[in-house]
Amino acid sequence: TATCTHSNGNPGTRAYSLGVNSSTALAIVTTALPTGTVGITYGPYPLDATGGTAPYAWSDPESQLPKGLTLSLNGLVYGVPEVDGVGINTVTFRVTDAVAATNDKGIDIIINNRDSLSISAPTNLPQSWQIGVAMEEHEWTASGGTGPYTFACANVPNGMLFDEVGTLSGTP
């Protein structure tokens, strides 16, 4: 209530209502998103914001998401990355709150290419073995693709074992 007095001595009183907004400024607090790989499901990974007035709506105003990824209105990044998205993609995300306040932030999304699977045989593998004599173990290795790797071999000679970690051993 405010009271004013006129110079002639007549007071006037009026009640006022004053609202205090205790909300903080709208801000995107996500600092990073996980690395993705071409052809492998990505997410969903949430974006987070604070302040402003909920609910929030999310967008990619510059259409910078890597090819194959999608941003939902509620801030989830998901999809299956495509080859065209390989590299470091700086995406400007925008959050808009219920009273149309906005905040933008650039966040990197790294998409790696899916390497081709390569299998290497041991370099010291003998051309032949002596029957009844134990041989030393020989290990195959794999690289590329997505591990862990499991090995299998058909037509292993009797007495020999080729296990799922890529080791050949035994007595032929």
Give 134-163 pLDDT, tens digit per residue.
988 989 888 776 678 899 988 888 999 999
Residue 64 has pLDDT above 60, yes or no: yes
Rounded distance between C-alpha atoms, residue 70 and residue 168, angstroms: 46
**CA distances, 89 to each of 75, 107, 110, 158 (Å):** 17, 8, 6, 53
Residue 81: burial class (beta carbons within 10 Å; 0-12, 13-18, 19+): buried
As a whole number of angstroms, the distance between CA 91 and CA 66 comes to: 8
Average pLDDT over residues 9-34: 76
Q: Provide the token pair at 162.
A: 């080729």
Report pLDDT for 47: 98
pTM over 0.85: no
